[in-house]
Structure 1
């Protein structure tokens, strides 16, 4: 049975237990639940020295309460995550991705933890577990049950021994971003006094390793694409020469191509069946070379004739590229279909590459040719004023710098040396 110390203060008290003292301070009402909250600290012993330590602890906790703008909240992380997702302005595609990480990884591990109990150490331990196994298993062998419920005949395709699959460092960084964003909001809402994710260590970002096709491989890919059909060849060519992202190619409409000015006014992206702004929310104009302009003129005429043959009217609002399911070009090419078709084509040519590598090809060819970094960054639509371009293509920037040095050296007046004297 505990009793209060005679010197009990109005907002706090020292309770004597069997062999310990407990310091209790009223911290206010929970801003979310409305319940009374308290700060507590246990002191070993009940002698005079213990009481002195308890009084110091009482003073410290009272000062801590006074320094807070409001009482810390005892709501759990699941509630905070839901509130953050509800109030945040996030693109639909990003929201869908975040919700998947929240449901599969974050809530099962930390969802029940009160936000004011989450620490940097707790977060770092969580990230370490994910990097070892995304299922956060205990390391002991077990059989993964199939999603079916109830009794069923177990076959190899349904139930199998668990194999640990580490979560990629980049994915853990996304998980960290979700948690950090949620705890930032909790701090703004006065649910916690500080955000522990701000100091928690997260996996280092792996240095990008772009692997573009060689010029010879690019030539083979382009030739094969045009051999398959002219529309497909034009799409692959445009990806090579402009470095446009897949969603930007898919969402491109004829109204955004100015064949007289020889530019593409890029403003939209196509993601999950919807139009949205570009990835970095930048509108950019991409200059076109004369060969690309010629190909696009021919492609426009080809699409216009195709649409008229279907009894429809050609307008500049139609999509530039469309699959066989939408010959009238009122719907764009499926992004996944483009990726798969390109992969199948590359596999037939025995070239190990993927569609996004054409973006790398465009960037590296420009840098190797000596085009300045801001220009390349602008064509690619990178954010950060060229910092992203430099980070991704550092090796090619160095090669471009070497070429610039050689060019400058060749233009300098030649120095006379003793060996040159007659």
Structure 2
């Protein structure tokens, strides 16, 4: 009488639910079993190996993952096919048009050429890391043949590589687009996990900006007096509103008697819709801010000037309700505002900065005046206070240095504090005004 121990390994009866394993005619081993599939259904899968142990190990791994609630991947196509599907059917409904345009450029310029031929289900963290390392060291002028499009080639085409490499910030952005696409594939149960999340690209250094000093800000406002957009530049410096938020303001959003403004929308130019009014950047960006007295007076004067422009334009006036418009009542293109700002900087004799640096200037000047970080966060409309703290970390370091200098001055001049009673009623040295 034979016992199960005496039965050959290939003919043993496996327990219910463990699947089956047998040797094929081509001498390979095949294992088959039922695992969890998308839609809370079960699907029979087959795996192969050169030995019984190898095939059984593969099947055991799939069954173990199934028992943990991870469905078997259902995607059979390439990364190219999935990224195309994601852009056309998913991202287009969840992203702003300009953001979707940038994502599309990243997908077709970097992701598809680098990873497009791989199967989505077989994409590994090692593949992503290897591709990013290659992308980091590749000259984009050579790869995209940028020099060949010039009238007079001067670098890559003539054999002198210019080493036009991608910046760490661009690499991080490319990596984030891939993570977003694969994250949706996980949600749709196309793949079991997002392999791009296991790859670290490092934290890029924040982009340097040169905010205006208090003296430069006063010089800019003095030069802007008499400019038809003087109220806009003054409002930008006093409140730190974004360019699109300024251009998207309507008179109905302002309460000049109470001195408040409601930020509800932003004005942007898109490739399909032209100048378009969109919701604010984030939910936190939709906010109500206080208007200083100087801005209230400027806005009242600007309203009178706009009424005169409307009277002179006559039937050509296009009433849209915007606070800042062209002489014909049309909304102002953000690019034209950038040009006007650059002209104003030259006229004032100031260095060239971005318009967005005016926003940074507002936050920097507020921090230097000792305003609490949470107040600046609410004024700027940041979603999290960590964003405010990170962007303006250099300012906080300077304030710490000033506070330490004040303390050091007090410690090295005991005569100045000897006559003061130490009863706890005096504020600490760091509470002194900042220079």
Whether 2:79 is the aligned partner of 1:74: answer no
**Equivalent residue number for residue 429 of structure 2:** none
1:116/1:192 contact within 8 Å kept: yes
- In the alignment, the residues of structure 1 paired with residue 204 and residue 264 of structure 2 have an alpha-carbon distance, to the nearest angstrom, of 29
Whether 2:247 is the aligned partner of 1:250: answer yes
2:31/2:55 contact within 8 Å kept: no
Q: CA deviation at 1:59?
A: 3.9
Aligned residue among 315, 321, 324 for 1:321: 324
> TM-score if structure 2 supplies the norm length?
0.76
Say if 1:277 and 1:412 are closer, same or farther in 2 by CA, change over 3 A.
farther
RMSD over equivalenced CA pairs, Å: 3.9
1:172/1:203 contact within 8 Å kept: no
- In the alignment, the residues of structure 2 paired with residue 135 and residue 143 of structure 1 have an alpha-carbon distance, to the nearest angstrom, of 8
**Equivalent residue number for residue 212 of structure 1:** 211
Q: Secondary structure at the match of 2:172?
A: helix
| Pairs aligned (count) | 386
Counting only pairs closer than 5 Å after superposition, residues 221-232 of structure 1 correspond to structure 2 as 221-226=220-225, 229-232=226-229
- In the alignment, the residues of structure 1 paired with residue 56 and residue 295 of structure 2 have an alpha-carbon distance, to the nearest angstrom, of 80
1:12/1:58 contact within 8 Å kept: no
1:304/1:314 contact within 8 Å kept: no
1:370/1:403 contact within 8 Å kept: no
Whether 2:372 is the aligned partner of 1:363: answer no
Counting only pairs closer than 5 Å after superposition, residues 132-281 of structure 1 correspond to structure 2 as 132-133=137-138, 135=140, 144-146=147-149, 155-156=152-153, 160-161=157-158, 163-226=162-225, 229-272=226-269, 273-281=275-283
Q: Deviations over 1:185-225 (max 9, x none)?
A: 21122211111122221231323533201222222222233
- In the alignment, the residues of structure 2 paired with residue 175 and residue 231 of structure 1 have an alpha-carbon distance, to the nearest angstrom, of 41
Q: Secondary structure at the match of 2:149?
A: coil
Aligned residue among 92, 95, 98 for 2:97: 92
| Structure 2, gaps ≥5 residues long | 1-9, 270-274, 411-415, 423-435
- In the alignment, the residues of structure 2 paired with residue 318 and residue 358 of structure 1 have an alpha-carbon distance, to the nearest angstrom, of 25
> TM-score if structure 1 supplies the norm length?
0.78
- In the alignment, the residues of structure 1 paired with residue 298 and residue 176 of structure 2 have an alpha-carbon distance, to the nearest angstrom, of 43
- In the alignment, the residues of structure 1 paired with residue 259 and residue 316 of structure 2 have an alpha-carbon distance, to the nearest angstrom, of 25
Q: CA deviation at 1:39?
A: 5.6
Counting only pairs closer than 5 Å after superposition, residues 246-395 of structure 1 correspond to structure 2 as 246-272=243-269, 273-281=275-283, 282-312=285-315, 317-323=320-326, 327-329=327-329, 331-347=330-346, 349-384=349-384, 386-395=385-394
- In the alignment, the residues of structure 1 paired with residue 371 and residue 138 of structure 2 have an alpha-carbon distance, to the nearest angstrom, of 44
